[in-house]
């Protein structure tokens, strides 16, 4: 389930007012109106010569109720301001020689790969670039899901969603068009997934193709015979496939679907000739757990990838593996580094791996020596998102609890960290945010547990403030020093609430044993940590008004809210539950990713029903008494909305003050800007109603 919080939202009665620039007017507490209009900087790409930053910026079109993404280039020599080079596009990438930019954009309603020349201007001084449409280099009848250029820039890897029995892309398009014309609407399924995340299955698979970069015409299928998705659904990207340095071999990861896809996490890494002359070869068949993110050393001799060791787990530690491609021997690069690696990048000499990870409330950039396995934290005190390296420089996005992402540069040892973009500076100039502080306490088994407190905007010493006690999702996730466009502590601080969070047993960033300790014990150790963390916060921070506090959570956090409603409801004036698990037994049969349920409950429900009942909130409804706001969405297939409807039914039948906010068009997250505003305003009104003096 991962840290699947839910996006927060609400349709404004005075909608047009929101579109006004948030940087105008007098100082004011940070609000949801500020949050939804912020520019979102991401996908940083450093040019091969290290001089230019290419990246995306998502802005909000509130009237259209959606985001719009443009692409920018920044001269890192400091001589220019960012220049918009593509009005609407995504996935910006440099050509290997730095003379071109590739990106994805719509053409006639279909996503294609585009190309435009990069000319920095006369003498290379300043940027003489302008917005340009570029030239489409693909002309497929289907949307491109992801792409990657070969090391020499001559080939393109392309992912398309196709019917695997079709001989070409046109066949898939014809079949889809035929379905549109068919008056009958029924679909017959003979295996799971019938739906996943927020989409019903239609028989297509994301498959990997290769084509000439300048004349792609009909691409060649590389993932022939792979009954799986490349990249994986629903969140996979171009980190899941790559070229060898000579461009002759392609590596990718995939999970074979068959009849076991919903209860399997057995991803494997495959190799295939780049000309498609042979079928893919499984390089990690001996590991029945998750292998991912292949990356080849500059000399072409070693394949690095991340690997879990426990089959059926999505929250096991991703270790870093090194496979000698000649001998087939493999080793773990940093077995004593007790953190889980993200996607990998390599230094030019192949001696250092770079990745990001959760670590004690932060999400730093980490360098790992390939020879010794020594891990060195390079950039911390916040959350590092995407990053890109060239020569002796790294370009990265970074955010924290007080500010959204901007781009920074540093050397490959993390020294000389410098902020190079300042998006939202004007908007945030007058939007005041709350200060924060991490704290630790003794939780379950007298072990150290971490949390943080955010002070309300306008904090005055000697006064007390109502509290929003936020419980994170996942459950294998964490509330870190990072900015969020869903569960953002500053939206509560701006409403006059102090915020308290606890990274209970099960959270990431404190060692794998700490993370694994929640499985089979959802209502045990985590609840004890929450209780002791709440008491520790009240003792340490006298400005917290323990008599005016509400608990909020989504996904696993929503499960915990339902659990607390029956077994720990004394301190709380109200609850807010978003997409929570209300009935563990029904959840097993209603959800899609069964591996998660079976791992967390020690097997299937029909073989181990007692495990599902041990911490089942539905069994404690008779003890519910606290007013609750329930929020759920119609396209949430991870925790279907029948869970929220069941909880609301229980509340109404018990006569407990309650409301239900239902979004028919959202998934496990609430993403549309106007829905996000509605979410926040509904939640804020609920909190204020029950914590008023």
Q: What are 460's two structure tokens?
A: 């005055």
The angle at the Cα of 171, spanning 168 to 176, to the nearest 5 degrees, equals 140
Cα 107 from Cα 128, distance rounded (Å): 26
DSSP, res 634 = T
Angle, helices 556-567/525-540, rounded to nearest 10 degrees: 80
Cα 577 from Cα 459, distance rounded (Å): 27
Q: What are 263's two structure tokens?
A: 């209860």
Closest CA relative to residue 600, chosen from 277, 264, 313? 313
Only one residue has tokens 């301190």, namely 571
The contacts of residue 570 (CB under 8 Å, 6+ apart) are: none
Using CA atoms, how far residue 480 sits from 209, 384, 466, 530, in Å, is 38, 11, 22, 16
Q: Identify whether the C-beta of residue 70 lies closer than 8 Å to the C-beta of residue 87.
A: yes
Cα 683 from Cα 121, distance rounded (Å): 51
DSSP, res 508 = S
Of all helices (H) and strands (E), which one includes residue 125?
Answer: none
Please tell me whether residue 82 adopts helix, strand or coil conformation: coil
Using CA atoms, how far residue 15 sits from 10, 60, 527, in Å, is 10, 13, 40
Cα 351 from Cα 319, distance rounded (Å): 17
Q: Identify whether the C-beta of residue 25 lies closer than 8 Å to the C-beta of residue 689.
A: no
Q: Are strands 544-554 and 498-503 parallel, antiparallel or unpaired?
A: unpaired
Using CA atoms, how far residue 596 sits from 2, 180, 195, 315, 406, in Å, is 9, 35, 16, 9, 34
Catalytic residues: 555, 636, 668
Could you write out the three-class secondary structure of 635-669? Answer: CCCCCCCHHHHHHHHHHHHHCCCEEEEEECCCCCC
- Distance in Å from the first CA to the final CA of the chain: 38
Cα 280 to chain centroid, rounded: 29
Using CA atoms, how far residue 579 sits from 37, 140, 261, 569, 668, in Å, is 25, 38, 24, 19, 7
Q: Is the dihedral of CA 569, 572, 576, 580 positive or negative?
A: negative
Cα 203 from Cα 191, distance rounded (Å): 11
Only one residue has tokens 């979102």, namely 40
Using CA atoms, how far residue 368 sits from 326, 374, 398, in Å, is 23, 6, 20
Q: Residue 387, CB half-sphere, CA atoms under 13 Å: how many?
A: 33
Beta-bridge mates of residue 256: none
Question: Burial code of 142-153, b = ≥16 C-beta within 10 A, e = fewer?
Answer: bebbbbbbbeeb
Beta-bridge mates of residue 162: 205
Q: Identify whether the C-beta of residue 668 lies closer than 8 Å to the C-beta of residue 6.
A: yes
């Amino acid at each position: 389930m991962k840290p699947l919080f839910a996006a927060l939202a609400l349709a404004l009665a005075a909608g047009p007012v929101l579109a006004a620039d948030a940087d105008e007017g007098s100082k004011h507490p940070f609000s949801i109106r500020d949050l939804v209009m912020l520019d979102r900087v991401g996908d940083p790409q450093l040019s091969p010569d290290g001089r230019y930053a290419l990246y995306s910026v998502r802005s909000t079109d509130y009237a259209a109720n959606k985001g719009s993404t443009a692409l920018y280039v920044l001269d890192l020599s400091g001589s220019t301001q960012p220049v918009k080079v593509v009005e609407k596009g995504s996935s910006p990438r440099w050509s290997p020689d730095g003379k071109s930019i590739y990106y994805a954009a719509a053409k006639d309603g279909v996503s294609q790969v585009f190309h435009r020349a990069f000319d920095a201007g006369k003498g290379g001084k300043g940027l003489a670039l302008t917005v340009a449409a570029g030239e489409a280099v693909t002309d497929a009848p289907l949307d491109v899901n992801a792409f990657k250029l070969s090391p020499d820039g001559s080939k393109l890897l392309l992912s398309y969603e196709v019917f695997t029995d079709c001989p070409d892309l046109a066949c898939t398009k014809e079949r889809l068009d035929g379905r549109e014309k068919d008056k009958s609407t029924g679909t017959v399924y003979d295996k799971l997934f019938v739906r996943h995340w927020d989409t019903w299955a239609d028989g297509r698979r994301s498959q990997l193709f290769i084509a000439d970069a300048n004349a792609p015409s009909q691409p060649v299928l590389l993932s022939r015979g792979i009954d799986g998705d490349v990249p994986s659904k629903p969140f996979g990207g171009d980190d899941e496939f790559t070229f060898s340095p000579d461009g002759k071999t392609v590596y990718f990861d995939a999970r074979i679907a068959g009849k076991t896809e919903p209860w399997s996490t057995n991803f494997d890494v495959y190799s295939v000739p780049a000309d498609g002359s042979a079928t893919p070869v499984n390089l990690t068949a001996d590991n029945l757990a998750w292998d991912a993110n292949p990356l080849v050393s500059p000399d072409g001799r070693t394949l690095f990838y991340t690997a879990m060791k426990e089959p059926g787990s999505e929250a096991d530690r991703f270790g870093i593996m090194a496979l000698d491609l000649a001998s087939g021997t493999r080793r773990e690069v940093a077995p004593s580094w007790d953190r889980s690696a993200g996607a990998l990048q390599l230094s030019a000499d192949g001696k250092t791996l770079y990745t990001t990870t959760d670590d004690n409330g932060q999400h730093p950039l980490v360098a790992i020596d390939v020879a010794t396995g020594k891990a060195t934290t390079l950039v911390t005190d916040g959350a590092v998102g995407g990053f890109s390296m060239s020569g002796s420089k790294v370009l990265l996005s970074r955010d924290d609890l007080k500010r959204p992402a901007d781009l920074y540069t540093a050397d490959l040892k993390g020294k000389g960290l410098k902020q190079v973009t300042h998006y939202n500076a004007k908007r945030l100039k007058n939007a005041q945010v709350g200060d924060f502080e991490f704290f630790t306490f003794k939780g379950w088994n007298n072990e150290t547990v971490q949390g943080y407190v955010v002070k309300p905007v306008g904090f005055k010493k000697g006064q007390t403030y109502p509290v929003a006690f936020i419980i994170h999702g996942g459950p294998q996730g964490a509330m870190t020093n990072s900015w969020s466009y869903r569960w953002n502590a500053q939206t509560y601080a701006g409403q006059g609430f102090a915020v308290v969070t606890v990274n209970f047993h099960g959270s990431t960033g404190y060692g794998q044993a700490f993370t694994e300790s929640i499985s089979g014990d959802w209502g045990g150790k985590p609840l004890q940590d929450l209780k002791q963390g709440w008491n520790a916060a009240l003792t340490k921070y006298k400005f917290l008004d323990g008599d005016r506090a509400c608990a909020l959570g989504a996904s696993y956090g929503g499960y915990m809210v339902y659990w607390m409603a029956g077994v720990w409801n004394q301190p709380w004036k109200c609850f807010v539950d978003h997409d929570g698990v209300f009935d563990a037994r029904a959840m097993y049969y209603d959800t899609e990713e069964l591996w998660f349920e079976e791992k967390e409950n020690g097997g299937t429900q029909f073989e181990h029903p007692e495990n599902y009942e041990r911490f089942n909130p539905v069994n404690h409804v008779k003890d519910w008494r606290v007013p609750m706001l329930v929020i759920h969405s119609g396209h949430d297939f991870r925790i279907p909305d029948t869970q929220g409807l069941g909880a609301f039914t229980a509340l109404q039948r018990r006569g407990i003050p309650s409301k239900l906010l239902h979004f028919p068009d959202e998934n496990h997250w609430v993403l549309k800007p106007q829905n996000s505003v509605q979410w926040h305003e509904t939640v804020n009104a609920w909190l204020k109603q029950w914590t008023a003096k």
